[in-house]
Amino acid sequence: MSKSVLVVGSGGREHALAWKLSQSNDVSKVYVAPGNGGTTLVAENVDISFTDVEGLLNFAREEQIDLTVIGQEAASEAGLVDAFNDAGLSIFGPTKAATLIESSKVFSKDLMSEQNIPTAQYKTFSDATKAFEYIKTRSLPIVIKADGLATGKGVIIPETLEQAEKAIQDIMIDKIFGEAGGSVVVEDFLKGQEVSMHALTDGTNSVIFPPSQDHKQVFDGDKGPNTGGMGVIAPLDWVKPEQISKIQEKVVSPALEGLKKKNSPFIGCLYPGLMLDGQDVNVIEFNARFGDPEAEVYMRLLDCDLYKILSDCAAGNLNPESVKWRDGYAATVVLASPGYPGDYPKGLPITGLEEAEKLDDIVVFHAGTALKDGNFVTAGGRVLNVTATGDTLQNALDKAYEAVKLINFEGMHYRTDIGQRV
Ligand SMILES: Nc1ncnc2c1ncn2[C@@H]1O[C@H](COP(=O)(O)OP(=O)(O)O)[C@@H](O)[C@H]1O
Ligand SMILES: [Mg+2]
């Protein structure tokens, strides 16, 4: 068979998805819209933005794309799946209505409450004075979340009442996150270890991936501001099979049932961010897509045909048994631009990529890169995801850091303590 696939997005996640899809025996052609410098190594880039629904629809029709795979959540929020469904085209991802589980924190918390999904106690507000009155009745630190998508920056965790008052003012009145801050969720602070889980689902059947752990803060020791993610490890031995079953039963299944009840069944990758504290499991949030950089380690560990399982999800007939994993561990270390997560320069030449990829078990997934005169240059905040597999977690980490040493661009920075938290 010679199927063609379109991946929508431009990050390291999309490079990893395109890389794995290109290995499928069924797939003869992979496109990425808009892609990045690295996606050209495994696919053809198409210059269409991921929110250009008409443009993507026309492209998929003209090129007779067999399956479109959404990486970037903004595409689902823009209604890409709804448009493809109407046109009778096959697509992996949730509808705009099902994407609300990620795109509205108020919707998501209310769904959790309706379905008895364990999560921090909360209230939602569209009135700043009432929000602050409530905060005064809770203990500190407290968590304040802008309702809408705010590119991973819409959460503030004040330690004092003065900070909380300022956060409410910033989000709800001065609208530093724009309309995303029209309403807020105020919730109790959870302690513990953050864990990422992913579940692949066709709307009815679902299968859960091994647990993984991202490292959000920019500096070693979990210091500094949050980023899109600085490194990931998987699987996590300390998350026991009983806890994974509990997450399936108490988190994933009820969330999918809840969306079905609302006539918006979820097809795609449901990714709950969780806080684990001893036996306690609480949901921090739901995402409606693969994590980035989680997808990078998952694609290295997946031991089955990605095209087959994603097209089965899209067609509503996923066989959970068909999702298989290789033994061992994977680790990703993110190499970031100078200044990230703040402002950063672009266009810095990158060296050492070929040398790094010559090492055993290394794949470098590109995020913010572009091709300039045949050479890779930086083009974003998170630039590269150096990804290794190994028999042990330490072995995977050692290989990843060995490869990192060979790569360079001016002002490059990365965390040196990925995988050392537990
Ligand atoms: N209730 C909570 N308790 C403790 N930390 C939290 C809580 N909610 C969120 N966080 C922290 O804030 C980060 C961002 O929150 P999240 O809900 O994942 O929003 P987003 O990813 O959309 O920015 C989380 O990864 C976690 O570190
Ligand atoms: Mg999050």
Q: Which atom of ligand 1 is nearest to the CA of 188?
A: 1
Supply 40's token pair.
């050209």
CA 201 – CA 297 distance, rounded (Å): 19
pLDDT at 340: 97
Give the 3-state secondary structure of residue 320.
Answer: helix
Is 183 a residue whose pLDDT tops 90? Answer: yes
CA 113 – CA 264 distance, rounded (Å): 17
The string of pLDDT tens digits covering residues 33-56 is 999 999 999 999 999 999 999 999
Is 230 a residue whose pLDDT tops 90? Answer: yes
Work out the percent of the chain whose per-residue pLDDT is above 90: 95
Give 252's DSSP letter. Answer: I
Residue with tokens 């993610």: 229
Residue 200 Cα, ligand 1 centroid: separation in angstroms?
A: 22
- What average pLDDT does the segment 339-343 reach? 96
207 close to 200: Cβ distance less than 8 angstroms: yes
The enclosing H or E element of 137 equals none
Is 149 a residue whose pLDDT tops 90? Answer: no
Residue 64 Cα, ligand 2 centroid: separation in angstroms?
A: 35
Residue 126 Cα, ligand 1 centroid: separation in angstroms?
A: 20
- What average pLDDT does the segment 227-238 reach? 96
Nearest Cα residue to atom 23 of ligand 1 = 152
pLDDT at 180: 87
pLDDT at 97: 98
Q: Which of 340, 298, 96 is nearest to 196 (CA)?
A: 298
Q: Which of 6, 105, 85 is nearest to 48 (CA)?
A: 6
pLDDT at 350: 98
The string of pLDDT tens digits covering residues 378-406 is 999 999 999 999 999 999 999 999 999 99
Is 153 a residue whose pLDDT tops 80? Answer: no
pLDDT at 1: 72
CATH 3.40.50.20 for domain 3-94, yes or no, is: yes
Supply 87's token pair.
């046109």
The torsion of the CA quartet 408, 414, 417, 422, rounded to 10 degrees, works out to -130
The CA-to-CA distance between both ends of the chain, in Å, stands at 45
pLDDT at 206: 96
pLDDT at 422: 76
**What class does CATH assign to 127-182?**
alpha beta
- What average pLDDT does the segment 231-238 reach? 98
pLDDT at 150: 78
The string of pLDDT tens digits covering residues 127-138 is 999 999 999 999
CA 227-289-417 angle, to 5 degrees, is 35
Q: Which residues pair with 277 in a beta bridge?
A: 280
Residue 371 Cα, ligand 2 centroid: separation in angstroms?
A: 30
The string of pLDDT tens digits covering residues 272-316 is 999 999 989 999 999 999 999 999 999 999 999 999 999 999 999
Is 341 a residue whose pLDDT tops 90? Answer: yes
pLDDT at 142: 97
Q: Which atom of ligand 1 is nearest to the CA of 187?
A: 1
Nearest Cα residue to atom 21 of ligand 1 = 152
Which protein residues are within 6 Å of ligand 1, measured from CB? 120, 143, 145, 152, 154-155, 187, 189-190, 194, 216, 273, 284-285
The enclosing H or E element of 387 equals strand 382-390
Is 421 a residue whose pLDDT tops 90? Answer: no
Residue 58 Cα, ligand 2 centroid: separation in angstroms?
A: 33
32 close to 7: Cβ distance less than 8 angstroms: yes
Nearest Cα residue to atom 24 of ligand 1 = 284
The enclosing H or E element of 219 equals strand 217-219
What mean pLDDT is reported for the chain? 96
Is 12 a residue whose pLDDT tops 80? Answer: yes
Q: Which of 98, 143, 99, 180 is nearest to 275 (CA)?
A: 143
Please report, for the chain, the start and end positions of each structural domain, with discontinuous segments joined by +. 3-94, 127-182
Nearest Cα residue to atom 9 of ligand 1 = 284
The string of pLDDT tens digits covering residues 55-66 is 999 999 999 999
